[in-house]
Amino acid sequence: MKLKILTFKRKTIVVFLLCIIAIGGLFGAYYSVKASAMPKYSHTIVIDAGHGGRDGGAIGKVTGVTESELNLMYAKQLAKLCQDFGIKAVLTRSDMNGLYDENAQNKKKSEMEKRKKIINSSGADVMVSIHMNSFPLSSSEGAQVFYAKGSDNGFNLAKSVQTNICQVFKSARDFVTVGDYYVINTASMPAILVECGFLSNPNEERLLKSKDYCEKFCYSILAGVISYFQM
């Protein structure tokens, strides 16, 4: 009886040890695959979703969608695509909260300073600020890319992104524009502001809200950023 118990115990121990070795091997294989699949970032992009918190930005006339929520949707989509392509993405905001200090007297000033601080401490090679446009004339449509006056690299980045957007979206403007915006004026790296389309145009509002449109649009921005990096 004793001997049987001992044999049983020995067998159990052997099976148990074999299991540990097998599980260990599996984990080892898993982690080595994980380690080799870890992206080695070649570049970093900082993506700025405009507005947020009490500042919703432009509002869609038909559905009431706010610019701040669409900006966040596009910023997150672009960040995901960048990460998938081995470009590290830093977001200035990743939720619907505003960037301002709740106790600040001047919330707009507080927000812009925070935005600038995140952008310039991100260590990014380029900055892309995402916005949605609005205009009294509801027929106005199409994406526009802005860069800061006097920035040659900003111009090159804008040109590259606009060219790629135009290849997919016929409504997009086929030229880039100097824009006097705080985020691109104060960014320490080549920076652009992308107005993805007009929320004041009912048809474009509907398109901008669509996940497919958002993904296609962000792919175009990414393609433009990649070809800028390759210049």
What single letter denotes the amino acid at residue 215?
E
CB of 66 to Zn ion, least distance (A): 10
Contact pick of 89, 131, 197, 225 for Zn ion (by CB under 5 A) = 131
Residue 172, phi then psi, degrees to nearest 5: -65, 150
Q: Which of residues 62-121 bind Zn ion (CB under 5 A)?
A: none
CB of 167 to Zn ion, least distance (A): 25
CA gap 202, 206 in Å, rounded: 6
Q: Which residue is nearest to Zn ion (CB)?
A: 131
Judged by CB under 5 A, the stretch of 26-34, 49-57, 90-98, 220-228 that binds Zn ion is 49-57
Tokens 């080799």 belong to: 36
Q: Which is nearer to Zn ion, 39 or 64 (CB)?
A: 64
Q: Residue 181 carries which DSSP code?
A: -
Half-sphere CA count of 47, side-chain side, radius 13 A: 25
CB of 57 to Zn ion, least distance (A): 4
Nearest to 215 by CA among 82, 93, 68: 82
Q: Which is nearer to Zn ion, 125 or 217 (CB)?
A: 217
Which residues are at the interface with Zn ion (CB under 5 A)?
A: 50, 57, 131
